[in-house]
Structure 1
Amino acid sequence: MSPSSRIPAMDVLRGCAVMGILWMNITAFALPQSAYSNPAAAGPLSGGDIAFWAASLILVDGKMRGLFAMLFGASMLLLIDREEMAGRNGARTQMVRAGWLFAIGVAHYLLLWWGDILMLYALVGLVALLFAQREPLALVKAAFLLFLLHFLLVAGFIASLYAWSHAPGDAQGFTRFIAALSDPGSPAIRQEIALYRGDFLPILRHKLAGLPGDWLWSFTMTALETLGFMLLGMAMLKGGFLTGRWNADQYRRTARHCFAIGLPPMIALALWVWWSGFAPLSALGTALAWSFPFRIPLSVGWAALILWLLARAPGHALVARLAAAGRLALSNYLGTSLLMTAIFYGWGLGNFAHVRPAALPLFVVAGWAAMLLWSQPYVRRFAVGPAEWLWRSLVRAQPQKIRRSS
């Protein structure tokens, strides 16, 4: 998308989303994977550790990812329109883009971080193409059908774990599974810590060995949800919501209603997990399934809140910096993976599992500062970010212009 055709409101939303994703991803960068859903896997918890987990679960987990997926779906429509106005086949270009995005995602997964979302977006985006011509109401209906199917899938998985816990046959297997979810002294968690405190090549070999199974499992647990949010984003673009065309009061009322729907049950779920002593099935069930219905209004609520603030203060200095970070969303996403793995993995500074959850916001704020400080000066001189330039050049099969015209 050329600079002149950009939609400032969507750039700001995208900047906020990529920053919010760092808040949630920081746990998976710095601690064993199980700590993402259950902080008990990181060891004895302080009040600060619990507060960070609760704030993440209630306000951020899945909500920024949902916002990012909505923006991805909306951007697909804008790119298709732009291609067709230029006399090219918009759907075909989008498929080529998806193929190269998948390749970038594979490189990101193998070389930097196991939590890549680019491969997921590339494949799910191809399915979303089938819905591009639908009217907003039809898109919303399809999105909520997908949300229902996703909830049934993840709730069924959690129910199967509860059934396993009461099955007479494999008590030792279930005990090992539960320990890997919550016991920092379990062999699985100790092995994970040793791996990520080690050198680059063992980490790469581990990810190569687990790529088909581990990635397919993650894809299965997230694809329907992601597709639903992409279709919701398409509907919100067609209705003018994401482009900032609503007035400030409409955004304020939408944000108020969405947070009123989503926040009380999320707070109740956090209290339930805490009162359970971070019981593994309670924590995992909340992270995967029980919180999901409230993730939908809260994702929309965050978008409405950000757009309301933008409508109230469009000339604020922070707005330009957020928009610049949003224009460089792919570069910022990959850049934070490089920065955080260099801080926490053994091939870098080796801080993996050495930093308590309560201290992780310090790294998030540092990452936010880096995004906001470099993005704006960069976009003054360059038309696209370095990762965006690579992606665009691969799609066009020739190097694209990166510098702005003088």
Structure 2
Amino acid sequence: MTTTTPKKRLEIVDALRGFSLAGIVIVHIVENYVGAPTPEGAMEATHQGIADNIVDGFIFLLLRGKFFALFSFLFGLSFFLQMDSAYDRGEDFRARFFWRLMLLLGIGYLHHMFYRGDILTIYAVLGIFLIPFYKVSNKWLIALASLLFIGVGRFVIFAIFKDANLFFPGELTPASPLIANYFEILKTGTIQEVFYSNATEGHLMKADFQLGIFGRAYLTLGFFLLGLMVGRLGLFKNFIEHKKLVKNVLLWSIALFVVSIGLTILAFANLGPEVTFDNWLAMIGLTALDLNNIAMTFIILSLFVICYRMKKPRKWLSKFAPYGRMALSNYVFQSIAGTFLFFGWGLGYLGEIRNSYTFLIALGIIVVQMLLSKWWLRYFYYGPLEWIWRSLTYFRRYPFRKRKMIDKAVV
């Protein structure tokens, strides 16, 4: 009988995943978990002073669009690590990974009922495209990711459909009656009404945002592919030795950041005060903004790896590792807590708490979840949703509570 020793988890990957999740929850809490445009004037109470505007600026420049990208990058990396681990065991993981994605789709669907900004369903669908790319050479992965990042998907959609929605029946603007109705459901509706809205038009709205001219899905797939490629390079297995590569990524990302800022300002300045997305200049502006987010994402990633090489910063950053190991559970539970805080079926504070306060609330949630994750993993092998996901993936009940295993060993 032969046994295979499981590969040791990469602490830096878990820590980076936890760090990414922290950025995501800050954005979602400050946005009040709306997951859609908000009606004009509906969020005025969230801006009552300079501190609230500073929070807005901080989130726009450093968090929004960046930490979801880091999370997506890590999804592609995790795909490679799972496939590579299975290959070492002499297994073909492709069919099981597909089944794993279907399970994630189910978890994401339930999560989407609470929050229509859910990313799990998007990951589950886009993750299918990773399977045929597993053996595609790195040069083709870079080429395709580059095309996705420079807006080819957006340009094709705009050339065919212009600014028309692909799926959602109404306008996605603050003045839209459908947007006002959705906000009112969140503000005063029952949990059943929120669930129904999210389960019906919510999926259509999300599909438009992902596949229409805003093109979030194209960027997500691009980050998946780069994560797959970096996994092959073994960057995180040997991050101390890859000093020159990380430095080059940082320098090129800074250069792209500067250039993309100039392009973004130039494009939107020429559109005038009333920006509409019915022209090619707006499409170029959106792509420049995407490139700016991509550049900042890799600046953050590079700086994280550089800091992780140093003893004192690593000691602090490693505290995110338990949080990252339970990312699925923490992501879902923070959404339930956040929607309970803001939506009418819960405490009903939607649009009533200043940004500076919701920012502090988000930090509190992060600290609490980090402490709980560390405590939980002392007694359990996995987070609750991670355990369910893993057990269903392999059709077997994995050990869950550590103490039970110890007791059995003693007996």
* Category of TM-score, reference length = shorter chain: 0.7 to 0.9
- Kindly provide the amino acid, as one letter, of the partner of residue 209 in structure 1: T
Residue deviations 1:366-396 (CA, integer Å, cap 9, x gap): 1211222111122222211111001112212
Distance in structure 1 (CA, Å) of the matches to 2:362 and 2:353: 13
Q: 2:186 aligns with which of 187, 196, 200?
A: 196
Distance in structure 2 (CA, Å) of the matches to 1:326 and 1:196: 29
Residue deviations 1:48-101 (CA, integer Å, cap 9, x gap): 343322222221221111111111111111111222333432111111101101
Distance in structure 2 (CA, Å) of the matches to 1:34 and 1:247: 42
Partner of 2:246: 251
Residue deviations 1:83-131 (CA, integer Å, cap 9, x gap): 2333432111111101101111111112x21111111111111111111
Cα 1:135–1:286 shift into 2, 3 Å: closer
Normalising by structure 2, report the TM-score.
0.82
User: Do 2:15 and 2:321's aligned partners in 1 also have CA atoms closer than 8 Å?
Assistant: yes
**Mapping for residues 79-228 of structure 1, pairs under 5 Å:** 79-110=82-113, 112-148=114-150, 149-153=152-156, 160=163, 177=171, 181-182=173-174, 187-197=177-187, 198-220=189-211, 221-228=215-222
Residue deviations 1:260-299 (CA, integer Å, cap 9, x gap): 43157448858997999974648x9799544112222222
Instruction: Could you tell me which runs of 5 or more consecutive residues in structure 2 were left unpaired when the two chains were aligned.
Output: 165-169, 407-411
User: Do 1:128 and 1:231's aligned partners in 2 also have CA atoms closer than 8 Å?
Assistant: yes
Alignment coverage as a number of residue pairs:
384
Q: 2:17 aligns with which of 14, 17, 27?
A: 14
Instruction: Could you tell me which runs of 5 or more consecutive residues in structure 1 were left unpaired when the two chains were aligned.
Output: 162-175
User: Do 2:16 and 2:324's aligned partners in 1 also have CA atoms closer than 8 Å?
Assistant: yes
Cα 1:357–1:277 shift into 2, 3 Å: farther
Distance in structure 1 (CA, Å) of the matches to 2:284 and 2:362: 24
User: Do 2:145 and 2:226's aligned partners in 1 also have CA atoms closer than 8 Å?
Assistant: yes
Cα 1:295–1:32 shift into 2, 3 Å: closer
- Kindly provide the amino acid, as one letter, of the partner of residue 261 in structure 1: L
- 2:230 is the counterpart of 1:236: yes
Give the SS at the match of 1:291.
helix
User: Do 1:320 and 1:376's aligned partners in 2 also have CA atoms closer than 8 Å?
Assistant: no
User: Do 2:210 and 2:217's aligned partners in 1 also have CA atoms closer than 8 Å?
Assistant: yes
- Kindly provide the amino acid, as one letter, of the partner of residue 58 in structure 1: L
RMSD: 3.4
How far is the alpha carbon of 1:357 from its aligned partner? 3.0
Partner of 2:374: 376
How far is the alpha carbon of 1:213 from its aligned partner? 2.3
Give the SS at the match of 1:400.
coil
Q: 2:256 aligns with which of 256, 261, 268?
A: 261
- Kindly provide the amino acid, as one letter, of the partner of residue 181 in structure 1: T
Q: 1:77 aligns with which of 42, 67, 80?
A: 80
Distance in structure 2 (CA, Å) of the matches to 1:342 and 1:157: 41
**Mapping for residues 260-339 of structure 1, pairs under 5 Å:** 260-262=255-257, 265-266=260-261, 269=264, 279=274, 281=276, 289-313=287-311, 316-339=314-337
The structure with the largest helix share of the pair is 1
